[in-house]
Amino acid sequence: MATTTDTDPIHTDPPPNKQIFILSGQSNMAGRGGVLKKLRRWDGVVPPEAHPHPSIFRLSAKKHWEAACEPLHADIDTKKTCGVGPGMVFANGVRERVGTVALVPCAVGGTAIREWARGEKLYEEMVKRARDSVKGGGEIKAILWFQGESDTSTEHDADAYQGNMEALVANVRRDLALPSLPIIQVALASGLKYTDKVREAQLGMKMENLVCVDAMGLELQEDNLHLTTHSQVILGQMLVDAYFTHFAPPLSNECHSSSH
């Protein structure tokens, strides 16, 4: 198997009909599964559901396509140690039905929703990466969003969460010229004092083509904040189910073009 280094990545362009998914939010989307907090290193364990596959690609921090593998966010969320997130599990779960999957990691740990407002660095970089991802062909199919822990520490931030998230959804759809872009949001599994208030906002949002999966109850690491590797596998599969239930065209073995 070929190996790469940070100075010698293998750039592989996916086919032009690729299905693109944006991964965004904070640390649980970036992935902390298997990260040993005290040692500040990842244990390197990749569950079978998150293994690389020739039809799964990722857009690197330098905006080159390459074969996707864990940790997906290593060159994006650079101030922390990244491990297993839900992205590769999701990609493996959808690839057999959708074909080539192209992931665009954008999540950064410890970031509040206000840092994802239009005009802020994180938001603008996410939009720029999304636009770059379609330059060689392909279609952005959904944004997978897992964020909010950083908004649970004060009542003010928790109260403002729903309005800020609704603005983010509206802005990113406008800026990408995709008015019906599907968004799959994850309701928090952890947080601080006002977690319930942020979760209530996440679970209660009523916007077209915005659905929510609930991570509450998934096993957390000993920091009571980050999902374990096993939990990330479950979450990735929940995201697959949500995508196919709400957004993917149904499977069919027959042509409906003239079946009336």
Residue 226's domain is classified under what CATH number?
A: 3.40.50.1110
Contact assessment for residue 109 and residue 117, using Cβ atoms and an 8 Å cutoff: no
Catalytic-role residue among 24, 151, 226, 231: 226
Asked whether residue 254 is domain-assigned, the answer is no
d(CA 66, CA 72) in angstroms, rounded, equals 11
Element (H, E) at 140: strand 139-146
Q: Catalytic residue at 27?
A: yes
How much is the pLDDT for 74? 97
Asked whether residue 165 is domain-assigned, the answer is yes
Asked whether residue 185 is domain-assigned, the answer is yes
How much is the pLDDT for 37? 79
How much is the pLDDT for 38? 79
Asked whether residue 240 is domain-assigned, the answer is yes
Number of domains in the chain: 1
Q: Catalytic residue at 258?
A: no
How much is the pLDDT for 161? 98
Q: pTM of the prediction? A: 0.92
Asked whether residue 259 is domain-assigned, the answer is no
Contact assessment for residue 165 and residue 202, using Cβ atoms and an 8 Å cutoff: yes
Beta strands at 41-42 and 35-36: parallel, antiparallel or unpaired: antiparallel
Catalytic-role residue among 156, 223, 241, 246: 223
Where the chain has pLDDT below 70, the residues are: 1-9, 250-260
Q: Catalytic residue at 226?
A: yes
Asked whether residue 9 is domain-assigned, the answer is no
How much is the pLDDT for 40? 85
d(CA 254, CA 236) in angstroms, rounded, equals 30
Asked whether residue 236 is domain-assigned, the answer is yes
Write out the residue range of the structural domain in which residue 210 sits.
19-246
How much is the pLDDT for 2? 37
pLDDT tens digits, one per residue of 227-257: 999 999 999 999 999 999 999 876 654 333 3
Q: Encoding tokens for residue 94?
A: 């959808």
Asked whether residue 8 is domain-assigned, the answer is no
Catalytic-role residue among 27, 60, 190, 231: 27
Buried b (16+ CB within 10 A) or exposed e, 91-102: bbbbbeebebbb
Q: Which of 155, 161, 40 is nearest to 112 (CA)?
A: 161
